[in-house]
A = this chain, B = another copy of it.
Amino acid sequence: MPELRKDPIIGRWVIISAERGRRPSSFGSAGRSGEAAMCPFCPGNERETPPEIMAYREPDSEPNGPGWRLRVISNKYPALVIEGDIEREPVGMYDRMHGIGAHEVIIETSRHAHDMVEMTVDEVRDVLWTYRERMIDLERDSRFKYIMIFKNYGEAAGASLEHSHSQLIATPIVPKRITEKISGAERYYRFKERCVFCDIIRHEITADERVIRDYDAFVAFEPFASRFPFETCVIPKSHQSSFLEMSEDEYLTLAGCLRDVLQRIHMSLNNPPYNFILCTRPISDECHEHFHWHLEIIPKLTKVAGFEWGSGFYINPTRPEEAAAYMRSIDTAEFRPVQRTGI
């Protein structure tokens, strides 16, 4: 069973998941399982994946067979497992718990080479609505404290399969960066009695230096202290602490914004690998007033990685103002997808 272990100095939990099968000897060669000809996420290959948890499918189609347009499955190589108790316990001076959690894959479309930038707004909306449905379902499990939703696009960003998908991990702990954001936002709230994210939105719209586009209900901008070139934040303009607080219409609006931002990144940077991460309120956290959900989108452009991991010190070679100006200048009406080679 995977384990969650706590760093005794800084208190961060790490998943130790030897079941994912990286033994010392497997690091030498660059084996890429994703290059196999058969795609387990394509229609007709449903038996190659764990059974589906939910799907949007034709009325007369059978579960785990063709006839779907979106499918959610358990990850075949889960970082955490769903069965069991957490059993938090000491190990000498250390702390650990069982690696309990959910690790799901959202197969966003039945079409193999059909990425989010090429989808219709309705298709993107279905993906976002699926995030919502899975979150609502998993929040009922009292073992979980946070539901992380993210997308790795392209091999350099950590994707192991080309077919468009996102992932969900429900964890019995709140990830460190979310805790840090909540504490930081709480500190600001205590001082100012205002949400720091709401203040940032106001500041960015007024300054108009780092805004990529001011949509109706959302705004996309490059953060003032961006760690990475073209790091982008998409955030609702009204105060909402959770992704689940959106109205039904807002999921469609967000789908339009997200696709627009991803198209701008695609066109600006020649279809780069990227990650996006949904930062939302933890399940039972009372941070309604000071936290504000948002999406972080990070194109994977620079290689200087280990040093940043080690020091927490980031060197960003592109001014956010310059990245924003570039992204603003893109005309997405002229969007034509650039094909990737490989994953």
Contact = CB atoms under 8 A, between A and B. Distances in A.
A108 to B, nearest CB: 17
A225 B177 contact: no
A306 B158 contact: yes
Contact of A269 (B27, B152, B169): B27
Contacts of A301: 22, 27
Interface stretch (A40-48, A49-57, A236-244, A307-315): A307-315
A94 B225 contact: yes
A59 interface: no
B317 A225 contact: no
A12 B157 CA distance: 23
B11 A184 contact: yes
A152 B307 contact: yes
User: Chain copies in the assembly?
Assistant: 2
B14 A317 contact: no
**Chain A contact surface mostly:** mixed
Contact of A23 (B92, B152, B318): B318
B229 A27 contact: yes
Contacts of A272: 27
Contact of A277 (B16, B274, B307, B322): B307
Given A93-B200, A305-B157, A305-B305, A17 B150 contact: no
A274 B180 contact: no
Contacts of A268: 24
A145 to B, nearest CB: 12
Nearest to A27: B301
A130 interface: no
Given A269-B28, A306-B298, A171 B275 contact: no
A319 B20 CA distance: 11
A306 B175 contact: no
Contacts of A156: 303
Interface of A: 5-18, 20-24, 27-28, 79, 91-94, 148, 150, 152, 155-158, 169, 171, 175-178, 180-181, 184-185, 188, 196-197, 199-200, 203, 207, 223-230, 268-270, 272-275, 277, 296, 298-320, 322-323, 326
Given A14-B226, A15-B313, A28-B270, 18 more contacts: A7-B225, A8-B225, A15-B314, A16-B316, A17-B315, A18-B322, A22-B229, A94-B224, A152-B307, A158-B304, A176-B313, A178-B311, A274-B306, A275-B307, A275-B309, A298-B310, A300-B306, A305-B305
